[in-house]
Structure 1
Amino acid sequence: MLEKYKTVYEGGEGEMVEKKSRFIATVRPVSTEEEALAFIEEMKKKYWDARHNCYVYSVGKNREYTRCSDDGEPSGTAGRPMLDVILGEDIYNVAAVVTRYFGGVLLGTGGLVRAYSGSLQEGLKDSTVIEKIHGISMEIITDYTGIGKIQYIAGEKGLPILSSEYTDRVTLQLLIPADQVQAVEKAVTEGTSGRAKMKKEKDLYYAVIDGEVKVFDD
């Protein structure tokens, strides 16, 4: 699993005009190649009267499904520059279509590359791009004498407490970055003199969005 990766949480749109040609970039988060292809068809239907609907998508933690298309533009002037933007920004699980309404003036190879890559960059600026972090949800059971120390450790390390239950003992569910699990286990063990019981529950990804922690199952 990737320890962390960037992806689009909410898609957006960007637009630029180059020598009377209008370029409209639409960005969308996708989790499968099927979703990406359906999105591309959706954009082709929406902009059916446009000269070109060039696209790019990259799906999978290892970019297993990565494709781009010039859709009739000169080879290498649209799809590949768009892919270079996605790879340059290091964004995963994303699809984008850049629609061109021809303005009657030829742009040349360099102009097309700048227009397609530039409009996609504008589309990404309008999107919400997040960083997903590989984490472990861990259940910690302790007596009341240990809860203060565990809360201190969580606060010091910035670990979100997903849930808490207070009965004759305290049960907490902590969200821990995968690369910090051993350090947290050691700190909790030492801080509670070995009285706290810890159990890893599951691997997950999480992100901080507008100051709040959101958990993902991917």
Structure 2
Amino acid sequence: MEYKTIAKNGMDEQIIKKSRFICHLARVETEEDARDFIMQIKKEHYKANHNCSAFIIGEKSEIKRTSDDGEPSGTAGVPMLGVLENLELTNVVAVVTRYFGGTKLGAGGLIRAYASSVSQAVQAIGRIEIKEQQGIRLRLTYAQYQVFSTYLKNHSLNEVDPQFTTDVETEIFVNKEETHDILDDLTEFFQGKASIETSKRQEIEVPLI
């Protein structure tokens, strides 16, 4: 499972023509999680004029929902969703709370305000890519293990939890798409004389610039 999402939960605020726009972002995995978060923000900001929302759920962004929460139709939730889509984010919910400052923004102004609230919040919080890695387990002699560090350095890899008994058992994790090439490479490196097999998979978070 590989996808892009926000680095962490967080919020950002801006003032546009005396109205306060507060954007809360959260990582979620189900539609229920997203709706619970929206309700939480609505309770916290029950005095606000609007709590508009948008969320995307699923590795392939299968579930998308928006709410204008009283703003003119299409001026809040849809532009908020558009920002999340343009940034290719999923498993994320955005809630923009508006405290009206007395100056009407018009449809175009609202669209820009809600979109920029989400965009600015994502920029402040940061984005990551969730990548799946494949584990590779090795059983090596001590002589083989001594040269294994050279292989790790040359391939910018790190070992995990080596166990030293009669032999050395250790594990590395590689990007899923590189698994076949690394297995072939390790077999050649040890001239077919090491025990090498795939193990469990793990997910890692890679920061996006």
TM over 0.5, yes or no? Answer: yes
* Displacement after TM superposition at 1:98 (Å): 0.1
Check conservation: 2:140, 2:167, Cα contact below 8 A: yes
The superposition leaves residues 47-87 of structure 1 with CA deviations (integer Å, 9 ceiling, x where unpaired) of: 00111100011111011222111111111111111111111
Choose the corresponding residue for 2:124, options 120, 123, 126.
Answer: 126
Which residue does 2:24 correspond to in 1? 26
Q: How does 1:1-218 map to 2 (within 5 A)?
A: 1-2=1-2, 5-208=3-206
Q: Tell me how far apart the structure 2 counterparts of residues 194 and 139 of structure 1 sit (CA, whole Å).
A: 15
Per-residue deviation, 1:176? 0.7
Distance in 2 (alpha carbons) for counterparts of 1:19 and 1:9: 30
Q: Give identity over the alignment, percent.
A: 36
What is the TM-score when the length of structure 2 is the normalising length?
A: 0.93
Cα deviation for residue 9 of structure 1 reads: 3.4
In 2, Cα distance between equivalents of 1:66 and 1:155:
43
Range with bigger deviation, 187-196 or 41-50: 187-196
The size of the alignment, in residue pairs, is: 207
RMSD: 1.5
Deviating more after overlay: 37-46 vs 27-36 = 27-36
2:131·2:206 contact (CA, 8 Å) conserved in 1?
A: no
Offset of residue 36 of structure 1: 0.7
The letter for the 2-side match of 1:177 is N
Equivalent position amino acid for 1:74 in 2: P
Q: Which whole-Å CA distance do the structure 2 matches of 1:37 and 1:149 have between them?
A: 53
The code of the aligned residue for 2:148 comes to I
Partner Cα separation in structure 2 for residue 132 and residue 157 of structure 1: 21
C-alpha spacing 1:80/1:172, structure 2 compared with 1 (3 Å)? same
Q: Classify 1:39/1:201 alpha carbon distance in 2 versus 1 (closer, same or farther; 3 Å).
A: same
Structure 1: gaps (5+ residues): 210-218
- Report the 3-state secondary structure (helix = DSSP H, G, I; strand = E; otherwise coil) of the residue aligned with 2:108: helix
* Cα distance in 2, alignment partners of residues 36 and 155 from structure 1: 42
Once the two structures are TM-superposed, the CA of residue 119 in structure 1 deviates from its matched residue by 1.0
Give the 3-state SS of the residue equivalent to 1:48 in structure 2. Answer: coil
Per-residue CA distance 1:23-67 (angstroms, 9 max, x = gap): 000011112111111100000000001111000111110112221
SS of alignment partner, residue 188 of structure 2: helix
Deviation at 1:208, TM superposition (A): 4.5
TM-score by length of 1: 0.89
Alpha-carbon separation, structure 1, partners of 2:50 and 2:148: 58
**3-state DSSP class of the match of 2:71?**
coil
Contact map agreement 1:150 1:188 (CA 8 A) in 2: no
